[in-house]
Amino acid sequence: MKEIKRWLPGALVSILLIAGILYFVDFGEMVQAIRSANYLILVMALPLSFLWMGVRAIVWRTLLRNRASYRDVLLTVGEGYLLNNFLPFRLGEIGRAFLISRKSVPSTGSGQRLQFMEVLPTIVIERAVDLAFSATILLVSLPFVVGAEGAGQIGLIVGLVVLLGLVVLYLLARNRQWALDLFHKLSQRWPALQRVGGGFVEAFLIGLAVLTDGWLFARFLFWMTVDWTIAIVSYFMIILAFFPDAQLIWGFFGLGIAAFGNAIPSLPGAIGTFEGAFGGALTILTGDQSTALAAALAGRLYMYISGITLGLIGLASEGQTLSGIYQQLKDFRTKGIASAE
């Protein structure tokens, strides 16, 4: 019952969105849109999904301070996305930290493997900055999409807000112990919040140490920007294959909405939420629900191809199976971080 209560809300969200898609979309028109798509553009876009994964590995390896080989990091990123696509509770994020801590081979000559609690904060930071990028992309594109005046000014305001957010994070990084003590003081009235959130906040604050290393953080932001740029181009090309009159800003808008759709509780792989978000964004832009769903399904296929390919290569090279990793993660969660290390 405890497990059911955990996955039921996400399952309901996915089921409701799938039901809405089945009700509103004309599947005959969707099939025709798939047949009429520009397959040359789709073929040209496919390598971008693998390039995106390759750069994402550089992003994460930068946060890990190059303490694991690029091959290990790349395959672990693939394994993480494979886990997220097929296992509940978004185990791919915990799985990444778990797997890289088991197989990392130090490349710096330190002779020390990465520990789970060393890795976890890097994923927290990565996801936090991902959220900032997705919000920025969405908010910058929104005025252009709806034809609002002053779009440039709004983009400037959004940029300043993001900059302010980074400054706040930097101040927290410089005063980690003070921030942790403040959290414990403010959460004394809610023991459950202190018990559950204390470990997360502490891990997050530890991970913020990357902000105090200016050169390291600059490299991290550079590669993160490259990664999101590749994603924008990839989404635009997928949209262009189905909508020949598409504009580049559509790639911004579609990606921004899809990123938030992936963050909504759902069944594994953001089933229903990704199609609802990405397809809904294209429906707003074009009014064509059936072709929008066709483009969303193409986007999902590309995510599956890159993530599953690299994930299976990683599992095969380690002699692992998806069910075996799932059981190890369940045992890991049951025993606790301390005993697992």
Place of tokens 């898609």: 21
User: What sign for the dihedral angle of Cα 245, 25, 308, 222?
Assistant: positive
What is the model's pLDDT at position 150? 54
Residue 300 lies in a domain: yes
**Cα–Cα distance, 295 to 176 (Å, whole number):** 44
| Residue 1 belongs to a domain | no
Residue closest to 300 by CA, chosen among 278, 322, 326, 329: 278
- Give the structural domain span for 185: 9-340
In DSSP notation, 94-132 reads HHHHHHHHHH---SSS---PPPHHHHHHHHHHHHHHHHH
Between CA 36 and CA 44, with CA 41 as vertex, the angle to 5 degrees is 145
User: For each of the chain's 341 residues, which pLDDT tens digit applies?
Assistant: 556 666 677 778 888 888 888 888 888 999 999 999 999 999 999 999 999 999 999 999 999 988 889 999 999 999 998 888 887 667 778 888 888 888 755 544 445 677 777 788 888 788 878 888 888 888 888 777 766 455 556 556 666 776 787 788 778 878 878 887 887 777 777 776 666 566 667 767 776 777 788 788 889 999 999 999 999 999 999 999 999 999 999 999 999 889 887 777 777 777 888 899 999 999 989 989 999 999 999 999 998 999 899 999 988 888 877 778 877 777 776 665 444 34
The pLDDT of residue 55: 97
Whether residue 56 is contained in a domain is answered as yes
Give Cα separations from 86 to 89, 164, 201, 264, 341 (angstroms). Answer: 10, 37, 28, 16, 26
The answer as to whether 229 is a domain residue is yes
311: which DSSP letter? H
Q: Taking CA 27 as the corner, what is the angle to CA 23 and CA 32, rounded to the nearest 5 degrees?
A: 155
The reply to whether 3 falls in a domain is no
Query: Has residue 189 been placed in a domain?
Result: yes
Domain-embedded: residue 2 = no
Residue type, 216: L
What pLDDT, on a 0 to 100 scale, did the predictor assign at position 340? 38
Establish if 200 belongs to a structural domain: yes
Number of separate domains in the chain: 1
